[in-house]
């Protein structure tokens, strides 16, 4: 939950407001943006995995699921901001008041917010991300 809040602060900084303009304006770019290379070894003796590619895959699943609900970019951005408000201020529209389910919901959105925050930093700092 703390990671989500910290990453979302980057999104708020990116549009100098609540982050929704930045999110809505950059969602469609996540599928093609070059996030660079970050590899991880899941277990000793296994092949490395591309972390950003894994995030991209999971983020695309979340976007597809929200689009299947009929949400456009602005509504997806509003949903992510609503989750942030629920975590930061106890607003309950996007929280289910079940600690385990709330954690799962936040964890589902983290790959998307991680990529958006990385995109925001890349926007502010031209050159290799």
Q: Where are the domains of the chain?
A: 2-34+49-124
Question: In the chain, which residues have pLDDT < 50?
Answer: 129
Backbone angles phi, psi at 74, to 5 degrees: -65, -40
pLDDT at 68: 98
Dihedral, CA of residue 70, residue 85, residue 83 and residue 69, to nearest 10: -10
Q: Report yes or no: 63 and 27 within 8 Å, Cβ to Cβ.
A: yes
Q: Report yes or no: 42 and 124 within 8 Å, Cβ to Cβ.
A: no
pLDDT at 86: 82
Give percent of the chain above pLDDT 70.
87
pLDDT at 129: 46
* CA-based nearest residue to 82, from 74, 94, 97: 94
**What residues pair up with 50 in beta bridges, in sequence order?**
39
pLDDT at 11: 97
pLDDT at 75: 97
**pTM for this structure?**
0.84
Burial of 50 (0-12, 13-18, 19+ CB in 10 A): middle
How far apart (Å, rounded) are the C-alpha atoms in residues 86 and 4?
A: 11
CA distances from 7 to 42, 70, 71, 97, 118 (A): 23, 26, 22, 22, 9
């Amino acid at each position: 939950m703390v990671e989500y809040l910290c990453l979302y602060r980057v999104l708020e900084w990116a549009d100098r407001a609540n982050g929704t303009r930045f999110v809505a304006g950059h969602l469609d770019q996540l599928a093609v943006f070059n996030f660079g290379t970050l590899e991880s070894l899941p277990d000793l003796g296994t092949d490395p995995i591309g972390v950003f590619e894994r995030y991209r895959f999971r983020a695309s699943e979340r976007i597809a699921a929200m689009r299947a609900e009929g949400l456009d970019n602005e509504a997806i951005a509003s949903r992510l901001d609503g989750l942030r408000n629920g975590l930061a201020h106890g607003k309950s529209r996007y929280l289910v008041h079940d600690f385990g389910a709330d954690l799962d919901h936040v964890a589902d959105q983290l790959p998307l917010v991680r990529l958006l925050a990385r995109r925001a930093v890349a926007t502010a700092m031209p050159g290799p991300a």
